[in-house]
Amino acid sequence: MVERLIQSGHEVRVSDLYAMQWKATLDADDFSHIEPGAHFDPVTDSLRAVEAGTQRDDVAAEQAKLLWADTVIFQFPMWWYTMPAILKGWIDRVYAYGFAYGVGEHSDTHWGDRFGQGVMSGKRAMLVVTTGGWASHYSARGINGPMEDLLFPIHHGVLYYPGFDVLPPYVVYRTGKVDAPAYSKITEELGQRLDTLWTTEPIPFRPQNFGDYDIPALTLRDEIAPGESGFAVHTAPKKNENAR
Amino acid sequence: MVERLIQSGHEVRVSDLYAMQWKATLDADDFSHIEPGAHFDPVTDSLRAVEAGTQRDDVAAEQAKLLWADTVIFQFPMWWYTMPAILKGWIDRVYAYGFAYGVGEHSDTHWGDRFGQGVMSGKRAMLVVTTGGWASHYSARGINGPMEDLLFPIHHGVLYYPGFDVLPPYVVYRTGKVDAPAYSKITEELGQRLDTLWTTEPIPFRPQNFGDYDIPALTLRDEIAPGESGFAVHTAPKKNENAR
């Protein structure tokens, strides 16, 4: 992936969390202002560190990388139907209050800069996911649940939330069984995805603050996708689909 | 919760992951047999340690607690639409290959002891979850997605997978705003849930190896919930509901 992106003229910065021995747990050690034995509140302590510029260097460096990038690719193996702990801990720590959440006004027409607005506005993000299981296990009626629903909390709740435009994921199934021909095919397909990062249509999630949702209940308005519920209602029909 | 359970005659063992400074990341340091610089494969290395009895003490102790318990309660705040990294890392590390997965025969009628079978068979599990957001944000058409769908990968993929019977969760919304009357109400409601752990009906997930699924595709058979898809098809209608 790095080679392909560089060949296309991109600059690439890599955060290899295992190689970096990334600290996975958001805890009181993240905040120099907490007195020993004092109460730890991840929300208010996070905000205080952001405002005072006293975040830990590892967290601040990752935030700077995010601000520098125009596109962010998250690559991970699916473990227990979501990302490994080390990557979840990257989210928990780098997504500080006052940076990725808790930003923007809260009023009766605007409930924070989130779900389509926020610090990552104008940037794109994409997941590259490997699984041990088969594609059928993750299909619409597969026992694991549909892949798009398993990824929804990441796509919508982690990436769209602070403003990323989210591209469809690239998923490799039965990764342990990939042989040389399969590897070539994956390299080609994924390469195509990397070549088209800026022409691929993002997932059309519905923005929060532009009329689709009642505020502050944050429920989809009755006249939109009437009678439907679940993750799918938060994605608008594609332009070439008929209204549902 | 501990007091209430003890008052009811239960024995209780607590794993307070923050107090234990639980190691969140599953990595090569978990396995004494890995030579420095050698390839790390979480699946095969995990199996090798289980079979040789060389797992790390912290992991083996948690597995022993699971085997000892008849009921396991997981209590956590929802961070970014799922559990914090430290608890995900408990799953990643304690759920070893040969313990929680990779057990049982694989044939054309049985695809491992999982989803209704496994080491936790006969035990019950329940989530107790706190959120900052409002209940409406997590309702059927709420912007975060329905709480039951957000919890499905944990209920079904983490708990039901190794054999737990999974009780409905107890969820506290707007936790930061809980005042004394709300705290009393929560204490009473949660206490009732603890008093009825063994009379509450588990979520009726469909077992994998008893005819509902085609094997090895692991897709729900066409005649069950025909035409439906998504997480919900893996839960059987309650006995007092009409067939869907």
CA–CA separation, B189 vs A47, rounded Å? Answer: 33
Q: Decide: helix, strand or coil at residue A32.
A: coil
Question: Per-residue pLDDT for A57 more than 60?
Answer: yes
Contact A212, A235 (CB under 8 A): no
Domain boundaries, chain A: 2-234
Fold classification of B2-234 is Rossmann fold (3.40.50)
A228/chain B closest Cα distance in angstroms: 8
pLDDT digits (tens, 9 = 90+) for B46-62: 999 999 999 999 999 99
Query: Which residue in chain A has the smallest CA separation from B37?
Result: A19
CA–CA separation, B147 vs B212, rounded Å? Answer: 26
Q: How confident is the model at residue A42 (pLDDT cuts 50, 70, 90)?
A: very high
| pLDDT for residue A243 | 45
Mark yes or no for CB contact A146/B26 under 8 Å. no
The residue-averaged pLDDT of B155-175 equals: 98
Q: B145: which chain A residues are within 8 Å (Cβ-Cβ)?
A: 152-153, 156-157, 230-231, 234
Mark yes or no for CB contact B218/A115 under 8 Å. no
Mark yes or no for CB contact B92/A80 under 8 Å. yes
Please give the interface size between A and B, counted as residue pairs whose CB atoms are below 8 Å apart: 180
Terminal alpha carbon distance of chain B: 37
DSSP class per residue in A189-210: HHHHHHHTTTTSPPP-BPPTTT
CA–CA separation, B79 vs A96, rounded Å? Answer: 12
Question: Per-residue pLDDT for B244 more than 90?
Answer: no
Query: Which residue in chain A has the smallest CA separation from B101?
Result: A80
Across chain A, mean pLDDT equals 95
Whole-model pTM? Answer: 0.96
- Of B141, B157, B232, nearest to A81 by CB-CB distance is B157
Query: Which residue in chain B has the smallest CA separation from A81?
Result: B153
Listed in order, strand segments (DSSP E) in chain A are 71-77, 124-130, 165-166, 170-172, 213-214, 219-220
